[in-house]
Amino acid sequence: MNMAKEVAIAAAYEAGRLTRERFGTLITYDEKDDHGDIVTEVDHLAEAIILRKIQRVFPEHRIRSEEYGENDLNSDWLWLIDPLDGTNNFAVGLPLFAISITLLYKLNPVLAVIYEPMTDRLYVSSEGEGASCNTHPITIDKAKDFKKARVGWIQGHALQNQERAVKLRHYIDVNTKRMMRLWAPTLQWCMLARGDLDGIIVYNSEGEDLYSGLLIVKEAGGVVVDYDGNTFTGMSPQPYLIACHPKFQNYFINMVKDGLQ
């Protein structure tokens, strides 16, 4: 695990340095689908850096990366890589993006590294060892009572304007102090982990960027449950999740139930 952490951190820093240097120079990008998701040359270059570093040290491990896909190896160890979470932001010159690297063992996240190049913030979390930002421990235990919450909304690309998603999103928007959609989910998870958001609602959004954030929030003292309040573990192809400080769990469960009625 120590070696895995060293490799992931080194890969995140190098990929992050590339994205920072290339920020603001992008001329063209490619549409990945009809739902607004895009890919740039920088995605591929950053991904190549991360893959090379991981495969050099752990050639027997499974890897699933956003652009590369899967290497189809048979292993209990699985790396999930999003080389540029927030590509849309990057493409339009908005400096909100991150590199996300997660290591799972038997489909449970055990290591998470998220690097935000433009602010030089490195978030690291290992199972059972807490979470940190630039080596300083972070926690959501400082959560304070509120009349209206600050909530991050994360929705799957392909859902677009699905009626049920729109209904819940609108309800959250008008019943909270702020509903935030950053186009870079890992940054929202980090905001929750350090106490700058009160909760996150995930509506069917599974991808390579999900599990790093989940682990960091859990290790920072948060809870992650489904809409019925059941503790979320492992992986899910269609996650509907609530993440927050434990004292706010019932508040957000009731909010989601009310929003879907």
Binding positions for Mg(2+) are 66, 82, 84-85, 209
* H/E stretch holding 179: strand 178-180
Of residues 247, 239, 181, 246, the one with CA closest to residue 217: 246
CA atoms within 13 A on the CB side of 31: 4
Helix 185-193, helix 210-219: angle, nearest 10: 0
Would you say 216 and 190 are in contact if contact means Cβ atoms under 8 Å apart? yes
Would you say 87 and 209 are in contact if contact means Cβ atoms under 8 Å apart? no
Q: What are the binding residues? A: 66, 82, 84-85, 209
Alpha helices in 71-209 (DSSP H): 87-91, 163-174, 185-193
Greatest Cα pair distance, the chain, in angstroms, is: 51
